[in-house]
């Protein structure tokens, strides 16, 4: 399995109907179509950063993340909803309606405190302190520190927030603001 990771090959989730259990079960294949982890999960997401979200009894059951050997490495408790995959070593989760982030050990590294949040990219994440307003957006770093104050309007569509070259973009009134990934304002000067 380590050879797969060393070669940069990805495992992909697949589902098949199990006649005996009369349900769909999911497992994982490699890029050549070989079954690497046999189908036994009712829910399975593709791997990201070496971990995949799975559930043996559907989304309502306890679920967690497995490694590429099929070992459960993070068992999540009920009440935690995963909203994505791992990006920059962190995964977006929701607890009691607030967004936060767990690390690859399952530890809550950024406590749930945001009304809306997005995956990390370039080491930062777009977050909002008010889901009902367009004027409370900013960026946090991987420690949870606010690096761009939560006072801007977010730009649409979502791909517009990240420029692709390491700059972040938000709106304030009719003006566009650019920041680097440390939170330093680049434009306007």
For 103-112, how does the pLDDT look when each residue is reduced to its tens digit (9 = 90+)?
999 999 999 9
Model pLDDT, residue 66 = 94
Distances (CA, A) of 82 to 78, 100, 156, 173: 11, 10, 24, 33
Query: Which tens digit of pLDDT belongs to each residue from 6-52?
Result: 444 689 999 999 888 788 999 999 999 999 999 999 989 999 999 99
Give strand pairing partners of 41: 26
Distances (CA, A) of 149 to 58, 91, 113, 137, 153: 39, 22, 15, 7, 11
User: Mean pLDDT score of the chain, rounded to an integer?
Assistant: 87
Model pLDDT, residue 96 = 93
Round to whole Å and give the CA distance between 123 and 100.
15
């Amino acid at each position: 399995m380590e050879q797969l990771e060393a070669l940069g090959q990805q495992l992909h989730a697949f589902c098949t109907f199990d006649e005996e259990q009369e349900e769909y079960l999911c497992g994982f294949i490699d890029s050549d179509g070989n079954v690497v982890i046999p189908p036994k999960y009712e829910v399975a997401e593709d791997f990201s950063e070496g971990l995949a979200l799975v559930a043996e009894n559907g989304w309502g059951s306890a679920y967690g993340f497995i490694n590429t050997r099929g070992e459960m490495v993070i068992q999540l408790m009920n009440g935690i909803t995963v909203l994505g995959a791992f990006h920059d070593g962190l995964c977006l989760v929701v607890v009691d309606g607030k967004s936060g982030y767990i690390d690859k050990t399952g530890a809550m590294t950024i406590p749930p405190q945001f009304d809306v949040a997005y995956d990390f990219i370039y080491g930062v994440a777009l977050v909002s302190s008010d889901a009902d307003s367009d004027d409370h957006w900013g960026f946090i770093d991987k420690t949870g520190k606010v690096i761009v104050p939560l006072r801007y309007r977010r730009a649409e569509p979502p791909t517009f927030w990240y420029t692709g070259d390491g700059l972040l973009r938000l709106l304030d009134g009719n003006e566009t603001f650019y920041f680097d990934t440390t939170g330093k304002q680049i434009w306007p000067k």
